[in-house]
Amino acid sequence: MSEVIDRLLEAMNAHDLEAVAALFDADYHSEQPAHPGRTFVGKGQLHANWAAMFAGIPDFRTELIRSVDDGNITWTEWSWTGNRTDGEPFHARGVTLFEVKDGLITSGRLYMEDVEREIVGIDQAVENLSGRRPDTSGI
């Protein structure tokens, strides 16, 4: 399965849309559990998504941080970088879980997120999540 991920990495960095799409099953199922409205099925949507990514981020680069096979699931950690055509920097990091069957990616669960540009410390992050600031007076 890591061969499929290696080919995906190469195709993405080459901006080879057809090579990327060729690694996915026609009925590919994609979900982003933190963003349920982004779920889709089918290679057509995947193709359209990556066409927009490559056009909108002409210097798109991806780095595979690590990859682990677990049965027919490959866990991968990615860093995606580049600059959008509107001049904004692009940086996303996260984890994907890809199911691979017969050399094709049949499903994916993506946990990719934009890297924050404005640094928020842990106390503020906890307050944003819970509504309460951590009591660190005893630390």
pLDDT in tens, 74-86: 999 999 999 999 9
**The two structure tokens encoding residue 73:** 């699931």
| DSSP designation for 88 | -
pLDDT recorded at residue 118: 86
Token look-up 């996915």 returns: 24
3-state secondary structure of 104: strand
Please state the pTM of the whole predicted model. 0.89
pLDDT recorded at residue 112: 96
pLDDT recorded at residue 119: 87
Query: Which residues neighbour 28 within 8 Å (Cβ) at sequence distance 6 or greater?
Result: 41, 42, 43, 46, 105, 106, 107, 108
pLDDT recorded at residue 1: 54
- Inter-residue contact 46 to 24 (CB < 8 Å): yes
Low-confidence ranges of the chain (pLDDT < 50): none
CATH architecture of 2-130: Roll (3.10)
Neighbours of 70 (CB within 10 A): 9
Sequence spans of domains, the chain: 2-130
pLDDT recorded at residue 92: 97
| 101 residue type, one letter | K
